[in-house]
Amino acid sequence: MSALPTVAETMAFFMMAKNETYASGKESKRLPFFPKAKMMTFGEGDFRYIDTWLSYGKPNKYSIRYSFGITVIFYRGKPIWLMWYQGWWRSNVPGVLNFLRRALAAATEFRGGRGPGFFREGDGMSYTNAYDDLWDLEKTFTDFRGHDLVNVWENKSPHTVYYHDYGGFALVDLPE
């Protein structure tokens, strides 16, 4: 194996790691040196995946909570790829984060590190993941941006209850 993994190897590790961490519903760890932060990790071979996120404070008067986080992939102890995400969700909507986990786990290919383009269970909630065209960049594992959202459907009308922007890029020149 070369000094760096290929894009395909790194992406395959990411898809496995995301499903073994937040999307799995497993318990996250608190970070004593970073109040309110949570973290999940996964490793296999020379790869290590660390996802850290924060959600501060109590919901505002609209029951909205804000959060942000960063996911980093390390290879042989060096950071090689990262993804960031930030946004909000309605804390008064039961099950929104559990639904999000199921949507994230449903992704079978890389779409900005989040869930599939569209996911729905019954008539209650739907998930949408879209790339933005603001930067007119090639949307690949090594450079991407987008947003995802969860809607609750009432009387055939969607009401957004979760929204996050995201982006990411390779920190090194990964071989094809």
**What average pLDDT does the structure give for the chain?**
90
For residue 133, pLDDT over 60 is answered with no
Q: How many domains does the chain have?
A: 1
Q: What share of the chain is helix, strand, coil (3-state, %, to 5)?
A: 15, 45, 40
pLDDT digits 0-9 by tens, 22-39? 888 888 998 888 888 999
Of all helices (H) and strands (E), which one includes residue 174?
none
pTM more than 0.85: yes
- Per DSSP, the residues of 120-162 read EETTTEEEEEEE--SS----BTTEEEEEEEEEEEETTEEEEEE
Give the pLDDT confidence score for residue 132 in this predicted structure. Answer: 62
Please say whether the beta carbons of 104 and 110 come within 8 A: no
> 96 pairs with which residues across the strands?
none
pLDDT at 169 over 60: yes
* Host domain of residue 31: 7-170
Domain membership of residue 91 (yes or no) is: yes
CA-angle at 20, arms to 168 and 85, nearest 5°: 25
Which residues make beta-bridge pairs with 69? 53, 85
